[in-house]
């Protein structure tokens, strides 16, 4: 795996990062050591910048941090190109791809820094600490964790006389509410309104439904998949059925416009949505009008638990400023920074002592629903090697488009991914 990552061709046109400076521990005539933080989320960036500004002020003689933001669509391509080089960002956001970069030798193991400072890792949620372990080594400090839930438009429910969703609702309850909304929309000739919308990305949609039906995308040991089983096929088919019955926006609409955008424009009754978009709900016109309700996912065959991903901060193995990078990583995942993120609602913190501030930062939505969903969530199913599961991701997209037979498409993709998983595990 190391050789595979390190042979990626470096495109100088997309490389970015800090200047090459030698590490320092005190002030020098040339000014503080410059280090960079790579991230991708423009929604979170202003709040992260607040913490960076405080850090820079407190370390103005020794360290200065600059945020380098790259859109999600380009982030990993750029990281692939820069991490194996001296142009690597000193600190980078990391997610389920940690295994790829750790085994590729381009992330710095943090164990000696943790032990050297006697950093208490128990201050972070255990599951998020474990998520960034590869083998026996820790490769990132946890930043946050997320959850998926349902937001609903109270005004649409009221307009069509549909009862609001109730706690412990089921998938059938959701379909009943959607059918009632559809009947109202049909009578009112509201052809641009949809009872349900969702994002087509895995995390806020089908990953959850597969798990809730007992057809995990990947097994707990990350060695097998159940996508091609009758249960897995039925799960994806149930989404096609919603679209066919006009209870959910059709695939062509969802592929052109994000489900969240349709919902925030006031054109959907319900949306499956992740906590990383909670601030958008809070600050939206719909939210300000107190027209957004939140509720946990409806129960499917087994449960209503949602997937929990989450970010961490990792250090580049090629960083020329590792002591300074570590100092910053401790601060940015510390109580002050994480509490500021919680209060501003950009992420549910992975630090237990900052989580209490999260719900207090919202006035227009009930963030307690998000907190509850996060606490019962399951870990995002990933082995950190996207190439092994990509055939299934592509097949699910095709299946949801309605252009291919669901069963045979999923079975073929599952078989292909299983062969790749088997080869990986043998290696």
Q: Do 148-305+385-426 and 14-145+309-375 have the same topology in CATH? A: yes
| Cβ count within 10 A of residue 426 | 6
| Cβ count within 10 A of residue 327 | 21
Pick the CATH number of 148-305+385-426 from 3.20.20.80, 3.40.50.2000, 3.30.70.260, 3.40.190.10: 3.40.190.10
Q: Domain map of the chain by residue range?
A: 14-145+309-375, 148-305+385-426
Average pLDDT over residues 244-253: 97
For residues 123 and 351, is the Cβ–Cβ distance under 8 A? yes
Check pLDDT > 60 for residue 17.
no
Check pLDDT > 60 for residue 260.
yes
Q: Which residue has the higher pLDDT, 181 or 146?
A: 181
Q: What is the pTM of this model?
A: 0.80
Q: What is the pLDDT of residues 177-218, one digit of tens each?
A: 999 999 999 999 999 999 999 999 999 999 999 999 999 899
CATH 3.40.50.1240 for domain 14-145+309-375, yes or no, is no
Check pLDDT > 60 for residue 13.
no
| Cβ count within 10 A of residue 285 | 10
- Residues of the chain above pLDDT 90, percent: 79
pLDDT at residue 375, as a whole number: 82
For residues 268 and 192, is the Cβ–Cβ distance under 8 A? no
């Amino acid at each position: 795996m190391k050789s595979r990552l390190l042979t990626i061709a470096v495109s100088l046109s997309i490389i970015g990062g800090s200047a090459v400076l030698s590490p320092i521990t005190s002030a020098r005539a040339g000014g503080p050591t410059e280090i960079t933080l790579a991230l991708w989320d423009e929604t979170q960036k202003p709040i992260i910048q607040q913490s960076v500004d405080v850090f820079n002020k407190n370390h103005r003689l020794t360290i200065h941090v600059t945020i380098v933001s790259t859109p999600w669509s380009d982030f990993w391509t750029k990281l692939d190109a820069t991490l194996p080089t001296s142009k690597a960002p000193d600190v980078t956001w990391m997610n389920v791809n940690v295994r790829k970069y750790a085994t590729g030798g381009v992330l710095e193991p943090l164990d000696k820094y943790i032990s050297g400072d006697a950093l208490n890792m128990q201050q972070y949620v255990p599951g998020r600490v474990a998520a960034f372990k590869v083998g026996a080594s820790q490769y990132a400090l946890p930043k946050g964790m997320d959850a998926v839930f349902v937001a609903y438009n109270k005004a649409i429910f009221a307009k069509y006389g549909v009862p609001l969703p109730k706690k412990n609702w089921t998938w059938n309850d959701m379909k009943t509410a959607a059918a009632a909304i559809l009947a109202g929309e049909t009578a009112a000739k509201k052809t641009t309104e949809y009872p349900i919308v969702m994002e087509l990305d895995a995390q806020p949609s089908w990953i959850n439904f597969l798990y809730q039906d007992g057809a995990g995308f990947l097994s707990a040991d990350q060695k097998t998949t159940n996508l091609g089983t009758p249960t897995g096929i039925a799960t994806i088919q149930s989404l096609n059925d919603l679209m066919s019955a006009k209870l959910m926006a059709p695939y062509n609409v969802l592929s052109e416009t994000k489900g969240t955008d349709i919902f925030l424009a006031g054109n959907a009754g319900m949306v499956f949505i992740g906590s990383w978009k909670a601030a958008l709900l809070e600050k939206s016109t719909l939210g300000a009008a107190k027209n957004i309700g939140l509720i946990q996912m409806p129960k499917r065959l087994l449960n209503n638990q949602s997937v929990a991903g989450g970010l961490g901060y990792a250090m580049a193995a090629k960083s020329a400023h590792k002591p300074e990078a570590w100092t910053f990583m401790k601060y940015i995942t510390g109580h002050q920074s994480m509490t500021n993120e919680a209060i501003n609602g950009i992420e549910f913190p992975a630090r237990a002592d900052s989580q209490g501030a999260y719900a207090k930062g919202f006035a227009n939505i009930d963030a307690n629903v998000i907190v509850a969903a996060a606490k019962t969530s399951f870990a995002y199913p990933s082995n950190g090697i996207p190439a092994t599961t990509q055939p299934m991701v592509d097949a699910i997209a095709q299946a949801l488009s309605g252009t291919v037979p669901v069963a045979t498409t999923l079975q073929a993709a599952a078989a292909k991914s299983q062969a790749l998983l088997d080869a990986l595990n043998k290696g």
